[in-house]
Amino acid sequence: MICISSDSTCDLSADLIAKFGIHIIPLSIVVGDQVFKDGQDITPEGLFNFVENGQSCQTAAVNVFEYIQFFQDLRKKYDAVVHVSLGSGFSSSHQNAKLAALEVPGVHVVDSQSLSTGTGLLVCQAAELAERGFSPEQISEIIARDAGKVEASFVLSRLDYMAKGGRCSAITAQGARILKLRPSIEVMDGKMVVGRKFRGKLLKCLTDYVQSRLEGRTDLDLARVFITHSGCDPEVVEAVRQEVTRWAGFREVLETTAGCTISNHCGPDTLGILFKRA
């Protein structure tokens, strides 16, 4: 039997993790001298509370020793492990997982080249391939190939979290707030870049964003799309869902909450749609 695993940054819901039998290893969130495990003993809400109270939060990769223990435990139960990692351009987690796999036979590590449910799309695909009887080598080859087809992007409601993380200046963040600019960030070639900037109220920006990503597309893999957000109002999420179904006929439209890694970088009320090209 083949096990599919990933990092907590794949942002899959508990229901999807259970449905596909995914095994998750958490990244760490460091707050002062405290270390929390993403999704286990800290939530995005808890992280936001720390930040709003003036404390700095940082994410830390899974280290090699943690991966070795994780993989060894899985190999006691499974014939092989395919681990779909957080993109190598975002964290040392992928390299650490590769090093750990050298110490544990039967472990295959695939670079998702993405984050959040961009990785999650590939994790679900890997689990479906395993259910269909594909070998670990075949699964790894297909997922590595399809990683380049994932489109992952988000719209940020505010830029102060990016400024606190040193990813933009405080002046830029303040200007965006005054002008009601809400930039999109996109994963391109395994790295995060700034995309189109939207202006106005959040809901209008998000509906414009969905239209810009999906309208007129004939190259979509319509199996599933994720709506992933960091605590947006349910009404906003539902409006985005309606826009997604308006512009594309995805068979599954799945909502998930962003974990602490995305939330720490992007802040509250961030939302993205993540899907694959055919």
Question: What is the spatial order of strands in the sheet that 23-25 belongs to?
Answer: 23-25, 2-7, 80-85, 107-111
Residues of the chain with CATH 3.30.1180.10: 150-277
Strand partners, 42: 38
pLDDT tier at 178, thresholds 50, 70, 90: very low
CATH architecture of the domain with residue range 2-146: 3-Layer(aba) Sandwich (3.40)
Question: What is the spatial order of strands in the sheet that 57-60 belongs to?
Answer: 34-37, 28-31, 57-60
pLDDT tier at 177, thresholds 50, 70, 90: low
* CA 16 to centroid of chain Cα atoms: 14
CATH 3.40.50.970 for domain 150-277, yes or no, is no
Whether the CB-CB separation of 164 and 178 falls below 8 Å is answered with no
In 3D space, the residue among 114, 106, 115 whose CA is nearest the CA of residue 264 turns out to be 115
CA–CA separation, 122 and 114 (whole Å): 10
Q: What is the per-residue pLDDT across 60-118, written as a single tens digit (0 to 9) for each?
A: 999 999 999 999 999 999 999 999 999 999 999 999 999 999 999 999 999 999 999 99
* CA 237 to centroid of chain Cα atoms: 17
- Please determine, for residue 185, whether its predicted confidence score (pLDDT) is greater than 80: yes
Residue type, 49: N
Element (H, E) at 31: strand 28-31
Residues of the chain with CATH 3.40.50.10170: 2-146
pLDDT tier at 165, thresholds 50, 70, 90: low
Neighbouring C-alpha atoms within 13 Å toward the C-beta of 178: 6
Strand partners, 3: 81
